[in-house]
Amino acid sequence: MANQNPGWGKKLWRLTKRVFFWAFFLHILYVLLIWIVNPPITLTQLGSALGGYGMKTESVPYSAISAHAKLAVMASEDQLFPDHNGFDWKSIEKAMAYNKRKPGRVRGASTISQQVAKNVFLWQGRSYLRKGLEVYFTFAIETLYSKRRILALYLNEAEMGKGIFGIEMAAQTYFGKTAATLSRAEAAQIAACLPNPKVYTVKPMSKWVAARYPRIMAQMRNLEGDPDVQNIIQ
């Protein structure tokens, strides 16, 4: 039987284009908005709340975060942060080689920028779709945002304990003080938990954190003399 409505394909195509156009427009608008303000909530935070871990968070301005905390997370998570364009290709190659040799284990190589892309705009997981979107958003924020803005988002949105998000809430929970007054050792202890904050606890201090935070403090000493690092953390 002949098609009763030969124009349905064109209508569907026009609708699809409109949906994609508005999706693209709205996500660009959101990226630009986050350039100025911190997100009210993220998918990771929502997942924590729905998963029973709770969600405690309090965003603070970049100027209200201790330089020790800024330096500690760079020393812990991404020592090339001032210099790369969002991706540490050598670490990625090493991680891929390791994962190929030992498929039962997974080693990551995410930069702070990649983690911001995941924590702010996406969800947790290791699917190819999420990793592809992570590359896109990493490129977007490295193009549009300053390094200080990226680090500010990381410090305000990263999970730093079960249901604890951001350096301000971590400082209050673990040490009863503000993020602005964190000492060097306290900042290093919080940074030490970041690979797996639900397991590597700060209080009570897990063996991982106890062993790792002195090494982070040593790396902080190595990094702090770099003018590019100083330009970001001040």
Does the structure show a pLDDT above 50 at 105? no
pLDDT of amino acid 139:
93
Does the structure show a pLDDT above 80 at 220? yes
Nearest to 82 by CA among 36, 166, 157, 146: 146
Q: Return d(Cα 234, Cα 228) in angstroms, integer.
A: 10
3-state secondary structure the chain: CCCCCCCHHHHHHHHHHHHHHHHHHHHHHHHHHHCCCCCCCCHHHHHHHHCCCCCEECCCCHHHCCHHHHHHHHHHHCCCCCCCCCCCHHHHHHHHHHHHHCCCCCCCCCCHHHHHHHHHHCCCCCCHHHHHHHHHHHHHHHHHCCHHHHHHHHHHHCECCCCEECHHHHHHHHHCCCHHHCCHHHHHHHHHCCCCCCCCCCCCCCHHHHHHHHHHHHHHHHHCCCHHHHHHHC
Provide the whole-model pTM. Answer: 0.85
* Mean pLDDT value across residues 203-225: 96
* DSSP codes joined into one string, 195-230: TSTTTS-TTTTPHHHHHHHHHHHHHHHHHTT-HHHH
Does the structure show a pLDDT above 80 at 99? no
Does the structure show a pLDDT above 90 at 114? yes
Query: Residue 91 — pLDDT band, cuts 50, 70, 90?
Result: low
φ, ψ of residue 65 in degrees (nearest 5)? -115, 130
pLDDT (tens digit, 9 = 90+) per residue, 33-68? 999 999 999 999 999 999 999 999 999 999 999 999
Which residue type occupies 180? A
Ordered structural domains, the chain, with CATH: 63-229 (1.10.3810.10)
Place of tokens 């639900």: 198
